[in-house]
Amino acid sequence: MGALEDGRFDPEIPAIAIGGKGGELGTGTIEDHVRVLLKGLGEDPEREGLRKTPMRVAKAFRDGYRQKVKDIVQDALFPEAGLDNGTGQAGGAGGLVVVRDINLFSFCESCLLPFSIQCHVGYVPSGKRVVGLSKLSRVADIYAKRLQEPKRLADEVCWALQNSINPAGVSVALQCWHIRFPEVFKCNPNPSHPSRSTMQGWVRTTVCSSTGIFNDKNSSLWDEFHGLLKLRGINLSDAGCSSIHSWCPSMSLDLTECHGNISRSNFPIGKVSSQSAMVAAVSSILQSLGEDLSRKELFGTPYRYVHWLMNFRRSNLDFKQTKFTINSAHSCEKVNGYIHSKDEIHSELNFPFCAQCEHHLLPFHGVVHIGFFHDGPIDRSALQSIVHFYACKLQVQERLTRQIAEAVYSFLAKGVMVVVEANHICMISRGIEKVGSSTATMAMMGQFTTDSTARALVLEAISMSTATGG
């Protein structure tokens, strides 16, 4: 097991001291280093909306490193009912116990971006003792909140449960989805509504880890575990050892020019010193968490994360009107939208986007729908450019919606209606952790503010698009 061989696994990992006293890089707190990142993005850390961002980011990184498995499990072992005078599987233990569809989020150790997880845990009790079912989920959550890659996460959860509850065997299966980079959202030829269940467009992998009697893949217990997952549509036949190079999209980045500096081909020379400070800040955050920067899996991680962040660098440039062209030659039938009446109400739907939440420095992604009054259809690529321009910066969804509406209205002064539907990873991976939730916002200008029929027609078009899957 790789997690054991490199010495990283430790079910008794203590709470760590956060700060800069432990090493050369770690000067200052995590909050201080986050402020460096915000300044490198051209932002003012003291402005409203960003003032508490360093605290929120630091808390998210710390949470997984502060808890111990022992504290969760030690008071949650109970006598197994019905075995006083009988013998079950595995020489005195009861039957297989499986908890499925545990929804988790973790941080990819190659790029620090979040990835989504559905975790499935099975174990066979021994010694006539069982553990409270919620503890299986909580143990998985502890390890998910640390820097991870799928196979290591499966190994660590599996061995933590094996060592803490001493069952006859444990098996952990993970289905994982890794977010792609903003360029994919900009160029996606098949946009659709945001979906937590399918994670469309995300990189996907399935991994499995086992101990004890589950190590025999020909055993009836393994077949039963596999069979109970199949009831939920989960097939482990393709589960294996995830390759970090094929798993993380950022591994394709060329770091040969980046050692000691961000690649000059990606960033202007005048900004190299700023990005170098950002890379040093990310390195200090990792060290403050107790991570070993010499570990091969972390080579290049600070550079990759800064590369991601720089997609959202603040720009003082206005969207140029020359980029917005009217294409009256398009026929209405060929435009990806709907014309609903002779009043020339048009709708262009499902523009994909990816933005960065300014409160948590986590992505939020989804689709933008634009309704407008005009004499003819509009070049869709021009609208997509507007969406991409305002999405690629630190944002909140309400402001993004309004900015897109104002930009389109400045060219089409008759009337504009914008609806944004998005999944916020901060809603899923932090705080309330409401998996499956999505947020919709709306902004209207011009005729749409007074014409309820026009608003209803655009909403109907969005509803029709949702019903047909895109």
From the list 177, 159, 172, the residue with the least C-alpha distance to 229 is 172
Instruction: Give the CA angle between residues 282, 17, 147 to the nearest 5°.
Output: 45
**Across 248-257, 259-268, 319-328, 400-409, which has the greatest mean pLDDT?**
400-409
- For 10-36, letters b (16+ CB in 10 Å) and e give ebebeeeebebeeeebbebbbbbbbbb
What's the pLDDT tens digit per position in 322-372? 445 544 433 334 344 444 444 589 999 999 999 999 999 999 989 999 999
- Structural contact between residues 378 and 424, judged by C-beta atoms closer than 8 angstroms: no
Average pLDDT over residues 443-470: 90
What is d(CA 222, CA 215) in angstroms, rounded to the nearest whole number? 8
346 or 251: whose pLDDT is higher?
346
Q: Assign 81 a pLDDT band (cuts: 50, 70, 90).
A: low
- Tell whether the torsion through CA atoms of 196, 197, 200 and 202 is positive or negative: positive
For residue 272, report the phi and psi dihedrals to the nearest 5 degrees: -60, -40
pLDDT given at position 66: 77
Q: Which two tokens stand for residue 245?
A: 């190079």
Q: Assign 212 a pLDDT band (cuts: 50, 70, 90).
A: very high
Q: Assign 195 a pLDDT band (cuts: 50, 70, 90).
A: very low
What is d(CA 132, CA 364) in angstroms, rounded to the nearest whole number? 34
What is d(CA 416, CA 385) in angstroms, rounded to the nearest whole number? 16
What is d(CA 403, CA 356) in angstroms, rounded to the nearest whole number? 15
State yes or no: pLDDT of 239 exceeds 70: no
pLDDT given at position 84: 55
**Across 19-33, 34-48, 288-302, 378-392, which has the greatest mean pLDDT?**
34-48
Q: Which two tokens stand for residue 214?
A: 């589950």
216 or 258: whose pLDDT is higher?
216
pLDDT-above-90 percentage for the chain: 46
Instruction: Give the CA angle between residues 118, 186, 258 to the nearest 5°.
Output: 80
Average pLDDT over residues 121-145: 88
- Structural contact between residues 408 and 385, judged by C-beta atoms closer than 8 angstroms: no
Contacts of 127 by beta carbon, 8 Å cutoff, 6+ apart: 92, 93, 166
Beta 363-373 vs 415-424: how paired, if at all? antiparallel
- Structural contact between residues 196 and 104, judged by C-beta atoms closer than 8 angstroms: no
Average pLDDT over residues 378-388: 90
Average pLDDT over residues 127-155: 89
pLDDT given at position 318: 63
For residue 159, report the phi and psi dihedrals to the nearest 5 degrees: -75, -30
- Which residues sit opposite 440 in a β-bridge? 421
State yes or no: pLDDT of 73 exceeds 70: yes
400 or 432: whose pLDDT is higher?
400
Contacts of 203 by beta carbon, 8 Å cutoff, 6+ apart: 177, 178, 180, 247, 248, 249
Average pLDDT over residues 410-422: 92
State yes or no: pLDDT of 57 exceeds 80: yes
What is d(CA 380, CA 271) in angstroms, rounded to the nearest whole number? 33
Query: pTM for this one?
Result: 0.79
5 burial type by CB count under 10 A (0-12 exposed, 13-18 middle, 19+ buried)? exposed
pLDDT given at position 429: 59
What is d(CA 345, CA 214) in angstroms, rounded to the nearest whole number? 61
pLDDT-above-70 percentage for the chain: 71
State yes or no: pLDDT of 207 exceeds 50: yes
Task: Identify the CATH number of the domain defined by range 319-468.
Answer: 3.30.1130.10
Domain boundaries along the sequence of the chain: 1-312, 319-468
From the list 107, 125, 124, the residue with the least C-alpha distance to 116 is 107
Task: Identify the CATH number of the domain defined by range 1-312.
Answer: 3.30.1130.10
pLDDT given at position 332: 39
From the list 450, 371, 376, the residue with the least C-alpha distance to 408 is 371
Q: Report how far apart the first and last C-alpha atoms of the chain are (Å, whole number).
A: 43
pLDDT given at position 259: 46
Q: Do domains 1-312 and 319-468 have the same CATH topology?
A: yes
What is d(CA 17, CA 304) in angstroms, rounded to the nearest whole number? 26
pLDDT given at position 281: 96
Q: Assign 91 a pLDDT band (cuts: 50, 70, 90).
A: very low
- Which residues sit opposite 174 in a β-bridge? 119, 207
Average pLDDT over residues 129-146: 89
State yes or no: pLDDT of 294 exceeds 80: yes
The residue assigned the tokens 């217990």 is 221
For all residues of the chain together, what is the average pLDDT? 79
pLDDT given at position 262: 46
What's the pLDDT tens digit per position in 20-48? 343 344 446 999 999 999 999 999 999 99
pLDDT given at position 336: 45
